Structure 1
């Protein structure tokens, strides 16, 4: 029997097409694939376990694709054959690359995780596991990832991709969802189907309690063949919502950490001021502008009479429907529809800077007359700035300085030629978000769904406050939100000063709706709740904090950017998340001593508080919690210890 001497490298992959070799031999057969998703309070742990069998005398390489939501992080990998187990450790990418190269150079049987031969689904990243299975043997590997399930359009939706590329004797997907607020509505959609179902059906069994749903999808081999020769291929989609009250939401506390969910109901929709900023440069010609014309007819019809709106079209020049925003009367909407239908015609180059600055000026003209309203700029483009100011960093600076928190800017990137990092940074630092519109037949529907997400503002100037004597405020995730929209949810997580302190304090939420509003929420301690992972809230906070640090790095100046990236790297290493800054290296675990004890991971040593980071950046000094290695990289003391341990393992 061949010994297992493998090293597998996990890297975040961009969607690329990869041609297969003509002489590829048959892959090992999958005898079992089980996908388990356990969700508690929107935080989900998904494990994909696959057993493969190679009945041939010679070893065979197998490649298995796993699609992970872009909002998720891979958190574990394990591979087992006979009495040997390989487990993954997360390293900084450059170090992981060197480990992988060393394994190949030494003649070890090397595997890796890299891009798959097909594009991933929407809002998904592809990971491919390349693994060499010895002759006449079986192997099992488990890939785990964690994700936060976000609320959009009034529901939480989780997509689990199922595509073994063959008929599998034992195939199952099990989803367990538990929500402390109770589950109000629930449905699921089978792979490659569109019909929503709420109860048990063919190959699906559902068990339900007021706060929990367990869904098991277990298609027989015959049922799998109904999908085609390669069996099941598509997304298993779970949708649900919880019970919402007109209050301060729910605060969960566990082992020194908290997470606060805020999504009040029973509020009046606020009127809004909205400017549609639409790219009509030459690259938008044909299909793209055809879809934009279609959806503008629908979106304009959804405006409410108390809304103010305007349409700004731009190429190298800027043109307006009206000199200033108009009230959304029935007459004005019909006139605007005709304008959009006749003037959305592609022509020149792309002056993003002038278009956005003019849009901000239009809203500023309404500011003094119309307070207590939602303020939104919807910005749609398919490319890069090619006229006027063309440096993205300068455009961002100009827009942020002019906007000054006046409006939330939501950026839509149409297709794959657009500069999404630029749009993401632009939107994030102006209180919005960026979304890609896929250049496919349902592009109009994608645009319409996006508009529905931001069309009904309920609150503005939302602020979440916690007693500083109880909460380490500077370690909490973002606590200020320019607007809260119907169907969404605001979430804040953080650390307590005393790990033993539980529920003898209150969270306070202040906001402006149709009047000045104030909500409170009393924490609930999870220590007595059965079957809840002991570090659930802590990992929720770490997950959210890393995502936030990566966003801050995206918009920061070069000096600050380095520190935000290092903090995100440190936390990724401490919590063993595969992020854009890390990779996962898998080595053979020969002795139990090669495993890293949990006590080594002194996570508090990594968290340099944001205020300290800023003061050090301004002063040009290095935070004391960080140290520099021989290569000039900032690495925490814990990381140095772990990397030393890894070097022993690899050797």
Structure 2
């Protein structure tokens, strides 16, 4: 018995319908989440209590962001495995199988978050059938939490009903929540939730009586969404995990100030938006205006047959301007056809002019949000032509977010155009809460913290890589990059992450030959023969010709980098750089690295001083970090106060590359990709 499936994105629960005496006696979902990745198994069991063969329908609602990996049916002990097919192939095979009366399954659009998978089978009297569906999903972080939801809709009382979720996060779990839209006060205590360190566990197992809508009712109250949310500990902005020749890199910095936004709202006011849709749009825009921050800039562009703008350019969100904007929004009404191309192009031109004329902050995030309910039919109306023009005009400078209102839009067109321009598309469903859907989307993009984020990896080590360049990073979200190593045995990786925030971003890579200063996309080069002083907000850089480079972090610590030049014919050594920290007490306790771990005092004891192989350099025993080390007395130069000549200071030399003194081993501190 062949079973054809559509491979599509998923995650959720199921709805096994009752048909003429079919008893569903068990429904279970087992979810195991490891490092944000959910592996889920739905198992449903039914028996035919009738005297003749009956049809059982397995009906599952799956999240759109997951994928099926396996499906099988077991009838009276015989298992029939399913075959996963690509979307279009699956659709054709499904239609062919149905026409022949064979068993087949297909995934179709179902709701806002879900796709529906349905399969049916005829079973003999007294026969039992077990459906098992396996699906996986990478959980997305929004508003500071990872979220997974389970659609619960069995449509009958089930003797053995259970949801079990086990979470393992190597970083540690900081919060864990579980709730259901159908959960009453009586059911709240049935949700068992625990978490400690790296592990979390949730179970929901209501009895038959607890599932009833009332004491003597046969209807089930289990009808809605069961949602699990959690977050992880973050001691650093990113987390890298390597397994079997693959890696995944999670990047989610915290405690960064928000960037000012420059937002263009492009609104479809064609005749098809009349009535409830334009009312909900006005309602959503009024709520969004309440959330716009004082340092943001914004404007409205309306398109019907013609294109109209509220203001000629973007304006700052002062209280007076916001009041005027509210009056404008309340007066928005519908007219004409759909000049979508004209509306978007006007928005792009307006942003370009604002940046070129320095009308908006240089360090800010520019965003285009376009809402439409129809298809373009005025001016340039061919979708492919519009995509070409928009991509050429934006040039990767601004993300484009397309919101499709209702079911009359060409959603594939909106989605492709958004993805080509570093944005995304979202369907707005024409329900009573459409205005909340619009506002909810704005909330997702209302707090940009970084722009032009790039995560770079050594090209000579990586064979495959997912998207690693992002226009914006938003507060409460997470950037995820995955890849494959050329060497499957590799277990470490150097990552270079760059982004521009509200304060001055400064990255400098220094070598003995040159000094390169990078500020955003601008690079400036110097040599050690230059004498230079650069000052930016919170940072001062001084190059002393042929001597040193001084880096001062505002009122914080300062660093001196000294160019040590070696005799040109030296058989071993080459010119090198020495890094020295001034005012170390201003560095945080979390400062680490080969040098940083010693910027704060450590306890040690010197014992048993005795002559060494060199009479001028005695040996001794050092007790440090519960280790006994053999050390040798000597002298070293301190260049912090005298970068040219240095000052001789006594010290103890630790042998074997610092083993026992430094944290880890010395190779942990070597970044080979820099050389």
TM over 0.5: yes
Is 1:215 the equivalent of 2:212? no
Instruction: Find the aligned partners of 1:98 and 1:459 in 2 and give their Cα distance.
Output: 45
Is 1:126 the equivalent of 2:120? no
Instruction: Find the aligned partners of 1:130 and 1:519 in 2 and give their Cα distance.
Output: 63
Residue aligning to 1:68 = 62
Residue aligning to 2:329 = 340
Q: TM-score, normalised by structure 1?
A: 0.72
What whole-Å deviation, never above 9, does each CA across 1:185-243 have from its counterpart, x for those lacking one? Answer: 22111242599x9xx94322123212221111101111111287144121111112222
Residue aligning to 2:180 = 190
The partner residue of 1:254 within 240, 243, 247 is 243
Q: Which has the larger radius of gyration?
A: 2
For residues 397 and 103 of structure 1, do their structure 2 counterparts lie closer, same or farther at Cα, with a shift above 3 Å needed?
Answer: closer
Contact between 1:36 and 1:173, CA under 8 Å: does it hold in 2? Answer: yes
Contact between 2:4 and 2:85, CA under 8 Å: does it hold in 1? Answer: no
Contact between 2:23 and 2:46, CA under 8 Å: does it hold in 1? Answer: yes
Residue aligning to 1:523 = none
SS of aligned partner of 1:110: coil
Residue aligning to 2:490 = 501
Is 1:279 the equivalent of 2:263? no
Residue aligning to 2:345 = 357
Is 1:8 the equivalent of 2:9? no
Residue aligning to 1:478 = 467
Instruction: Find the aligned partners of 1:68 and 1:94 in 2 and give their Cα distance.
Output: 18
Residue aligning to 1:377 = 368
Is 1:164 the equivalent of 2:164? no
Residue aligning to 1:238 = 228
SS of aligned partner of 1:516: coil
Instruction: Find the aligned partners of 1:339 and 1:172 in 2 and give their Cα distance.
Output: 52
Residue aligning to 1:613 = none
**More displaced stretch, 176-185 vs 438-447:** 176-185
Instruction: Find the aligned partners of 1:205 and 1:94 in 2 and give their Cα distance.
Output: 42
Contact between 1:13 and 1:126, CA under 8 Å: does it hold in 2? Answer: no
For residues 500 and 214 of structure 1, do their structure 2 counterparts lie closer, same or farther at Cα, with a shift above 3 Å needed?
Answer: same
Instruction: Find the aligned partners of 2:98 and 2:450 in 1 and give their Cα distance.
Output: 57
Contact between 2:107 and 2:115, CA under 8 Å: does it hold in 1? Answer: no
For residues 432 and 103 of structure 1, do their structure 2 counterparts lie closer, same or farther at Cα, with a shift above 3 Å needed?
Answer: closer
For residues 173 and 278 of structure 1, do their structure 2 counterparts lie closer, same or farther at Cα, with a shift above 3 Å needed?
Answer: same
Q: TM-score, normalised by structure 2?
A: 0.70
Q: How does 1:425-464 map to 2 (within 5 A)?
A: 425-464=416-455
Is 1:205 the equivalent of 2:192? yes
Structure 1 position 96, deviation (Å): 5.5
Q: Which runs of 4+ in 1 moved over 3 A?
A: 11-14, 91-105, 517-520
What whole-Å deviation, never above 9, does each CA across 1:610-644 have from its counterpart, x for those lacking one? Answer: xxxxxxxxxxxxxxxxxxxxxxxxxxxxxxxxxxx
- Structure with the higher strand share, 1 or 2: 2
**More displaced stretch, 91-100 vs 369-378:** 91-100
Is 1:488 the equivalent of 2:482? no
Contact between 1:466 and 1:508, CA under 8 Å: does it hold in 2? Answer: yes
SS of aligned partner of 2:283: helix
Is 1:83 the equivalent of 2:77? yes
Instruction: Find the aligned partners of 1:139 and 1:88 in 2 and give their Cα distance.
Output: 15
CA RMSD of the aligned region, Å? 2.5
For residues 385 and 158 of structure 1, do their structure 2 counterparts lie closer, same or farther at Cα, with a shift above 3 Å needed?
Answer: same
Residue aligning to 1:42 = 36
Residue aligning to 2:285 = 296
For residues 27 and 229 of structure 1, do their structure 2 counterparts lie closer, same or farther at Cα, with a shift above 3 Å needed?
Answer: same
Contact between 2:368 and 2:399, CA under 8 Å: does it hold in 1? Answer: yes
Instruction: Find the aligned partners of 2:158 and 2:22 in 1 and give their Cα distance.
Output: 12
For residues 93 and 493 of structure 1, do their structure 2 counterparts lie closer, same or farther at Cα, with a shift above 3 Å needed?
Answer: closer
Contact between 2:151 and 2:226, CA under 8 Å: does it hold in 1? Answer: yes
Structure 1 position 373, deviation (Å): 0.9
For residues 67 and 57 of structure 1, do their structure 2 counterparts lie closer, same or farther at Cα, with a shift above 3 Å needed?
Answer: same
Residue aligning to 2:47 = 53
Structure 1 residues without counterparts, runs of 5 or longer: 1-5, 15-23, 521-651
Instruction: Find the aligned partners of 2:55 and 2:508 in 1 and give their Cα distance.
Output: 58
The partner residue of 2:314 within 325, 336, 347 is 325
Paired residues, what number? 494
The partner residue of 2:104 within 99, 107, 112 is 112
For residues 389 and 70 of structure 1, do their structure 2 counterparts lie closer, same or farther at Cα, with a shift above 3 Å needed?
Answer: same
Is 1:388 the equivalent of 2:388? no
- Structure with the higher helix share, 1 or 2: 1
Instruction: Find the aligned partners of 1:518 and 1:152 in 2 and give their Cα distance.
Output: 29
